[in-house]
Structure 1
Amino acid sequence: MLLRLSILLVSSIALASCQTCSFSKSAVNASWTVAQNGTLQISYQNNGISNNQWTAIGFGPDMSNQQVIVLMVQNGQVSIRTGSTSGHSPPTFSSQNSANLQNVNYSRTTLNATISVPLNLNGVNLGGCQTWNFVQTGPLNNGQMGPHTSRPDQVNNVCASQCV
């Protein structure tokens, strides 16, 4: 009996330590937590974004139905939009932006931002376990999003509610 409890305890600790609360690859570094007020806080850094480009985080297994947070750098200014995708085309932006930018800084090719977004983003529970997609960059042409320049990096089984 004691052996079974010990195995169960070790397994539980191992599973708890496996939670994914950060991502780092190529130019993008991100980490996230659920704040006490119930919002998802994302610290996001992209060291390879130029003026008139965009970068994004998408939530879901593929582009057929993702909620997205898009950061755009235009004329040295950073803006943020939320929306959804329905295939391999630019997202449809929400009429009401659900994400807030905090502590944003853009200099040369480095974007640092703290993003605050509700855990329920347009009907999708971001606290639940799902696939997150990180898009390095894509061009902005006259304010319109062009296709991303590399394949998005996927992180499977992100359970943001475990990141407190």
Structure 2
Amino acid sequence: MFNTKHLTNSTTPVVVLIVLLFYGPTPFVMLYLFAFCLMVVSVATQQCSFNDDDISARWQVSGDELTIEFVNKQIANNKWTGIGFGPSMENLEVVVVKIEDNKPSLVTGFTSGYGPPSLDSNANVVSSLLQFNSNQLTFRFTRPLNSNGARKHSLEECQKWNFVKEGEVENGEIGSHSASPSSISFISSSPLNSEGEVRKHKNKPTAVTVCPKQCRELFQNRDVLRNPVPQKAIYNNHQSSRFDGLH
């Protein structure tokens, strides 16, 4: 009877009232309304993007590949940014980008406690974009949705992603954060010390629970400041030439 594509939790009571007024509380109508509410809740709980002031990210799944794009509109030289995946800060898979001499570099690693993460000798994700220009950092990478890397970490099921607001670099290694994080976290700007080492972040990260398998639609909307990806520019997570010159 209704198209639920553009409905949210805020519109659900209105739709329920209209249906009851027109059709009455018959068993069929009540069953339909129950199914309708379940669909709306399911749509509303999909988390396929993240925005927090100067930081934004979005992700999509195609086949067995997960593509994540991260934008930091205000990050200076000698700072770092990144992403952590996992239930707690004791056991995270991390993807970090640090900027030294105005050049970004991407590394991956893991945490085994509350101390700094251990870095991989080679990144276990495939970088398709890594650009730093006028204090804006944009990077995009792809990894398998299921088991990945030496630690066989999987992102198939719903789990917390950790977006850390700030951290620091010490002796070339990523330090631990100074404030306890919330549920999910991406890593935003963090200063590097004089030796180009990552220090612990200062601010408490934001929490989000993500179910990547729900995010199978191509990026549809474009915001050149927060999300500089043109409509349908990713096909099977392979970079399109339409990305060129956008940043």
Deviations 1:40-96 (A, max 9, x none): 111110112111111111112321111111111111111111111123332101233
* Partner Cα separation in structure 2 for residue 64 and residue 99 of structure 1: 21
Q: Which amino acid aligns with 1:124?
A: H
Select between 27-36 and 93-102 the one with higher mean Cα deviation. 93-102
Q: Give the residue type in structure 1 aligned to 2:130.
A: V
**Match for 1:12: what amino acid?**
M
Deviates more, 1:24-33 or 1:118-127: 118-127
Paired position in structure 1 for 2:89 = 63
Match in the other structure for 1:145: 198
Letter in 2 for 1:110: Q
Aligned partners of 1:45 and 1:111 also within 8 Å: yes
Q: What are the ranges of 5 or more consecutive residues in structure 1 without an aligned counterpart?
A: none
CA displacement, residues 86-126 of structure 1 (integer Å, 9 cap, x when unaligned):
23332101233112222322113210121212223332221
Q: Give 4+ residue runs of structure 1 displaced > 6 Å after superposition.
A: none
TM-score computed with the length of structure 2 as normaliser: 0.61
For residues 55 and 85 of structure 1, the distance between their equivalents in structure 2, rounded to whole angstroms, comes to 16
The SS at the match of 2:67 is strand
Letter in 1 for 2:59: W
Q: Which residue of 2 aligns with 1:78?
A: 104
Structure 2, unmatched stretches of 5+, are: 1-26, 165-187, 217-247
Does the alignment pair 1:105 with 2:131?
yes
Secondary structure at the residue paired with 1:11? helix
19-28 or 4-13, larger mean C-alpha shift: 4-13
Aligned partners of 1:88 and 1:53: how far apart in 2? 21
Equivalent in the alignment of 2:46 = 19
Tell me, in whole angstroms, the C-alpha distance in 2 between the residues paired with 1:89 and 1:46.
Answer: 25
Look up the equivalent residue of 2:192 and give its one-letter code. L
C-alpha distance in structure 1 between counterparts of 2:212 and 2:99, whole Å: 27
Residue number in structure 1 paired with 2:8: none
* Residue matched to 1:7: 34
Q: Deviations over 1:9-29 (max 9, x none)?
A: 331243133200010113210
Q: 2:160 — aligned with what?
A: 131
Q: Could you tell me how far 1:5 is from its partner in structure 2?
A: 3.9
> Superposition RMSD on alpha carbons, in Å?
1.8
Who is 1:154 aligned against?
A: 207
Instruction: Tell me the SS of whatever aligns to 1:145.
Output: coil
